[in-house]
Amino acid sequence: MAKTDKQLHIAMFPWLAMGHIYPNFELAKIFAQKGHSITLISTPRNIGRLPQVPSHLEHLIKLVSLPILPKHRENLPDNAESSNDITPNQIPYLKMAYDGLQESLSQLLKSSPPDWILYDFASEWLPPLARSLQVQCVFFGISPAWNICFFDTPKAQLGNAAAFRTKPEDYLRPPQWVPFHSNIGLKPYEVKKMFEGISDKETGNTVSFNFNKAVSDCDFFSFRSCNELESEWLNLLAEIYKKPVAPVGVIPPSCQVRVVDEEDNNTEWLKIKSWLDKQQPGSVVYIAFGSELELGQQDLTELALGLELSGLPFFWALKKQRDSSVDLPDGFQDRISDRGVVCKDWVPQLKILAHESIGVYFTHCGPGSVIEGLHFGRVLVMLPYLLDQALFARVLEEKKLGIEIPRNEEDGSFTRNSVAKSLRLALIDVEGSIYREKAKKMGLLFSDKDRHEEYINKFLERLQNNKAPSKN
């Protein structure tokens, strides 16, 4: 990647979740490749979880650890520093810990002021802090812009028009400030989850994210997204908030900066590859639900039996459950041993998705997972659990890029029959051909390295053209 003019010092302060930290890390390496100095800030354990910085970029990328002080660790498990380390009801305490980093972050920015800082949805206090230190800030969303357009009620920006969304049922459909046709919206069980909020049922403590304040105070917006995916939403966001929007592209695997790949000769990969090599091209369902999601027993059972009922070959990267009582149905692995693999260890996901035998990616719709699946032109079968994942599923289904598993709209349950039917539609049914065609076309766009490097260059040009005066 060619270097760009005017070397910048860019700081990054993502939310305490590896699904947020990893995209910032990948972006940091891309910026450093172009000659810019990067300071990526998180907590010690999260920094320790990051892969090795390529040796040729070590002089440009500084990974800074800000410890969580004991007074801000109330009710968090020992050593918990990320959403990976806790249960959903402990999110309020992780937010308190994140907010508790404000003082040490302030000292860091004073001692080594960056030109810009990229911040996340959870640090609504950061823009005023940055402004007081004459540091410009960018709201960087790892998910598409449609999340803000949907979830944030822009009262200050739209005045009385926003008052019409006051009831839970208003979230079942697009908000009235969306001027174009869209099927975006939540299901009744998701709306119930949203209004219940994230809370610790034992203590009653709840978490509060001031979304409007976080997004309203930035100098401009950026997203891990692109016009090919959501030009209408990016334009709407700019219109509502009267701020520039400069996406960085989707940061597909082809654009990411990696150390020497040692997986090619990895024993476990060679075993997986040997199995995949024996399957027909485009015939296999790959199933993975990220590093954090843990399925309950009912969902795990229905999913497994749906795979069995589908009759399709599959490779399932199944995360080990914290609850040891949650397990696959009795006899399941014996019955599917001739056409299915269940792997409970780490797997090289990108290599699997890139293999010609994979036809469908069965996913929870985490942003990184969606991008990886579409990068390789795979049809997505979607089973979202978080609210941003739900919106991803609605938009992708509307665009005929994926098929969402039908669920009971009151409690979110699903059946083995719906799993089997959705998988067969995506992979082999004639009616599913439109999904396969559109996924291949989107794959060509997502894997276009030059296209996405252009997004990076335009983003950096904006930073350079608005670079703050010297602080010396």
Q: Which residues are CB-neighbours of 142 under 8 A, at least 6 positions away?
A: 14, 19, 20, 23, 24, 120, 223, 224, 367, 368
The distance in angstroms from the start CA to the end CA of the chain is 31
User: Residues, the chain, total?
Assistant: 472
Query: Is there a contact between 353 and 286 (Cβ–Cβ < 8 Å)?
Result: yes
**Packed helices 433-446 and 367-375: angle between N→C axes, nearest 10 degrees:** 100
Q: What is the DSSP letter of 51?
A: P
DSSP output for 277-303: HTSPTT-EEEEE-TTT----HHHHHHH
Residue 413 CB contacts under 8 Å (≥ 6 apart), including other chains? 298, 299, 302, 407
Query: Distance (Å, rounded) from C-alpha 198 to C-alpha 18?
Result: 19
Of 198, 209, 211, nearest in space to 86 by CA? 198
| Cβ-based burial of 4 (10 A; exposed 0-12, middle 13-18, buried ≥19) | middle
Residues 235 and 225: their CA atoms lie apart, in Å, by 13
- Residue 221 is given by DSSP the state E
Residue 428: how many other CB atoms lie within 10 Å: 17
Distances (CA, A) of 108 to 36, 82, 103, 239, 274: 19, 21, 9, 34, 50
CB 31 within 8 A of CB 54: no
Helix axes 433-446, 416-427, angle to 10 degrees: 70
Query: Rounded to whole angstroms, how far apart are CA atoms 418 and 215?
Result: 38
- Rounded CA gap, 86 and 467, in Å? 39
What amino acid positions are annotated as catalytic residues?
20, 120
Distance CA 423, CA 169 (A): 30
What's the CA gap between 423 and 441, in Å, rounded? 20
